Amino acid sequence: MRIRVALQRALGVLAVLSCWLALAPSPAQVFAGRPKLIVIVVIDQFRGDYLNRNRDQFKGRGFNLFMKEGAWFTDCYYDYANTKTAPGHATIGTGAYTDGHGIESNEWWDASRSYELKVSSVEDERYQLVDLPHDSIPANMPGAPGWATKWVVGASPLNLRATTLGDELRLATVGRSRVYGVSLKDRAAILPAGQAANGAFWIDTASGHFTTSTYYMEHLPEWATAFNAGGRAEQAAREANAEGTTQFYELVGRTPAANSYELDFAKALINGEKLGQSGVTDLLVVSLSPNDIQGHQFGPDSDFEQQMILSLDRDLDNFNTWLDQTVGLQNVWMALTADHGIAPIAGEAAKLGVHAVAVDMDKVYDTLNVELNKRHSHGAKLGYLLPDPDLPYIALDSRTFKKAGVDEKSAEDEVAALLPAAVASQNPNPLPVLKLLPPTVVQPSQQRLPPAPHVQYVYTRIQLANNQLPPSEWGRLLAHSYAEHGNWFVMMVLDAYQMAGTGQFAGTNHFSPWDYDRHVPLAFYGTPFVPGEYHEPVAPVDLAVTFASLAGVNRPSAAVGRVLTEAIKPAGASAQR
């Protein structure tokens, strides 16, 4: 009797097992993996004209791999207005804009989470950073040194509302494809890789050692621990003349030494995780941060920028050659792009006569607050705006407006109406009132007067949310820029080449819908592509969609891009790959 029960149980287990085996997809049912590896190289803050400016000086198979052996699109523009790092990287991964992927800026005010601090696009207090060097452990983590004061939380793609190319590869292969992101910056490693990524690695800003978040893993993989222990960060610091620094991100991160440092980590990752060896398509996104860190300081026209580009050309030649010798370039598809462009330093553009000017937003805020206090709180000194403006967004303090009995629509309409005059009041040389009969004949000025700060347009959150936008190209750019994050705000766009800043030569920025902020390179390398220089207007959303189509997987969930068929070989030719 007992034997019969045991037998029945065993048969039952077998039946369940065979049923499960029948349901589990066999390798043949899942995606037939090709190529072995996709590598997307993102250069942080790399304007679309940089390749053309320097093309005569490129050597080897760095940028030339994309420009001479690949399909190079010279006219690639983001189709949205908030040209920042986090939304740009999210767009590269998802093939969608902010209205699809949910990332509006690098950080934003979220009244539902905090009135004290902005929320970063990837911070997530449910997770912790992993395997930090002892001196970098923050005050809120076990093992912190006694003097630690910084409070640092983990990170995840919690705000990313769309899937990426990597996510779709993982879904198509039932998890067999492996997907990774690498950058100096957390947001640039996490967002383009996606929700289902196996890992994203970025640096501890003090030491330069790579870390990750418990969202992905409890500890760094052995190869990453070995990389951190191998003295490579210290070598990069020496190359950057910053030996022994505890400000790796700022002092080493802004030099070419950090590009080769990141690419060496990418090589260690490909080796350590055996990418390209599992019979399905793996994906690696490498976002190279140094150009952005130095670019904000010195601008696109400095000698530093050119040195960075030519040095990166050599680093990419080295990386691409290594990739050829290990995985084999015939097995790899690659793409090159950037998360946004950049404006020239305002003072430099103004020298040429362009109406470029840096606008002191603290003074604009003071002017606005004085007027709002006059209207709503009898001249008190209440703050109606949340501090630290991050254009194009101006965040309102809904608590102060609510106390004054002003609702969101009225508050946003009022700030939008006040902004143009508040910005114009920063002009030290306002236009004189035109008189019908001038008392004296006006002579042409011997020297051009300084440019006047000017607001091109302002839209309120409510207008953006309800698509109350002009039926024009501008309206489309704005509609693509909206995501709901629980804050009251207005979106302000200054005239072209005008930006927030404390001096005409105090650095530069990217944040606007103007073409120089939206123009980035887009180039592909791999057997499916017809080499050539293409001048059709394209957008970074086309990258993920084109790769998804060629790989035969679903495009990412909110993707709006186009398959770039003009650069793809006829089916017969690509089938031979």
CB of 322 to Zn ion, least distance (A): 26
> Count of CB atoms within 10 A of residue 79's CB?
20
Cβ-contact 262, 318 below 8 angstroms: no
Supply the DSSP symbol for 386: -
Cβ-contact 386, 543 below 8 angstroms: no
> Three-state SS across 437-505?
CCCCCCCCCCCCCCCCCCEEEEEEHHHHHCCCCCCCHHHHHHHCCCCCCCCEEEEEEECCCEEECCCCC
Mark the segment that binds Zn ion (CB under 5 A) among 36-44, 66-74, 500-508, 548-556.
36-44
**In the complex with Zn ion, which residue's Cβ is closer, 121 or 163?**
121
Mark the segment that binds Zn ion (CB under 5 A) among 219-227, 262-270, 333-341, 434-442.
333-341
Amino acid at 239: E
**In the complex with Zn ion, which residue's Cβ is closer, 70 or 295?**
295
**In this structure, are strands 37-43 and 282-288 parallel, antiparallel, or unpaired?**
parallel
CB of 240 to Zn ion, least distance (A): 20
Biggest CA–CA distance in the chain, Å, is 120
**In the complex with Zn ion, which residue's Cβ is closer, 154 or 192?**
192
Mark the segment that binds Zn ion (CB under 5 A) among 140-148, 165-173, 338-346, 456-464.
338-346
Mark the segment that binds Zn ion (CB under 5 A) among 81-89, 278-286, 498-506, 552-560.
81-89
CB burial readout 357-381, b (16+ within 10 A) else e: bbbebeebbebbbebbbeebeeeee
Cβ-contact 357, 347 below 8 angstroms: no
Radius of gyration of the chain (CA): 26
Mark the segment that binds Zn ion (CB under 5 A) among 38-46, 218-226, 266-274, 318-326.
38-46
CA 365 to chain centroid: 27
Q: Residue 503: which residues within 8 A CB-CB, separation 6 or more?
A: 347, 358
Mark the segment that binds Zn ion (CB under 5 A) among 284-292, 398-406, 419-427, 534-542.
284-292
**In the complex with Zn ion, which residue's Cβ is closer, 291 or 549?**
291
**In the complex with Zn ion, which residue's Cβ is closer, 44 or 517?**
44
CB of 339 to Zn ion, least distance (A): 4
CB of 67 to Zn ion, least distance (A): 22
Count of residues engaged in binding Zn ion, rule: CB under 5 A: 5
Asked if 44 is part of the footprint of Zn ion (rule: CB under 5 A), the reply reads yes
Return the closest-CA partner of residue 186 out of 163, 157, 166, 206.
157
**In the complex with Zn ion, which residue's Cβ is closer, 42 or 197?**
42
Sign of CA dihedral 41, 180, 90, 132: negative
Cβ-contact 66, 525 below 8 angstroms: yes
String marking each residue 312-331 x if it binds Zn ion according to CB under 5 A: --------------------
Binds Zn ion by CB under 5 A, chosen from 262, 339, 414, 542: 339
CA distance 25 to 172: 11
Asked if 517 is part of the footprint of Zn ion (rule: CB under 5 A), the reply reads no
Return the closest-CA partner of residue 179 out of 337, 326, 191.
191
CB of 215 to Zn ion, least distance (A): 22
Residue facing Zn ion at closest CB distance: 85
* Residues making up the chain, counted from first to last: 577
Mark the segment that binds Zn ion (CB under 5 A) among 202-210, 239-247, 264-272, 285-293.
285-293
**In the complex with Zn ion, which residue's Cβ is closer, 45 or 163?**
45
CA distance 555 to 562: 10
CA distance 341 to 199: 27
Write the DSSP assignment of 547-559 as a string of letters: HHHHHTSPPPTT-
CB of 412 to Zn ion, least distance (A): 28
CB of 199 to Zn ion, least distance (A): 21
Site for Zn ion in 440-499 (CB under 5 A): none
Mark the segment that binds Zn ion (CB under 5 A) among 35-43, 95-103, 207-215, 286-294.
286-294
**In the complex with Zn ion, which residue's Cβ is closer, 107 or 292?**
292
Mark the segment that binds Zn ion (CB under 5 A) among 1-9, 42-50, 412-420, 446-454.
42-50
> Count of CB atoms within 10 A of residue 352's CB?
8
CB of 144 to Zn ion, least distance (A): 30
Judge residue 181's burial from the number of C-beta atoms within 10 Å of its C-beta, 0-12 exposed, 13-18 middle, 19 or more buried. Answer: buried
Tokens representing 275 are 């990418």
Asked if 186 is part of the footprint of Zn ion (rule: CB under 5 A), the reply reads no
**In the complex with Zn ion, which residue's Cβ is closer, 254 or 555?**
254
Triad 131, 136, 140: Cα angle to 5°: 85
3-state helix, strand, coil in the chain (%, to 5): 40, 15, 45
Site for Zn ion in 553-572 (CB under 5 A): none
Cβ-contact 223, 268 below 8 angstroms: yes
**In the complex with Zn ion, which residue's Cβ is closer, 209 or 340?**
340
End-to-end CA distance of the chain: 62
Binds Zn ion by CB under 5 A, chosen from 64, 82, 83, 85: 85
Mark the segment that binds Zn ion (CB under 5 A) among 41-49, 271-279, 472-480, 556-564.
41-49
**In the complex with Zn ion, which residue's Cβ is closer, 332 or 543?**
543
CB of 45 to Zn ion, least distance (A): 5
CB of 208 to Zn ion, least distance (A): 19
Binds Zn ion by CB under 5 A, chosen from 99, 292, 315, 317: 292
Using CB under 5 A as the criterion, which residues of the chain lie in contact with Zn ion when the complex forms?
Answer: 44-45, 85, 292, 339
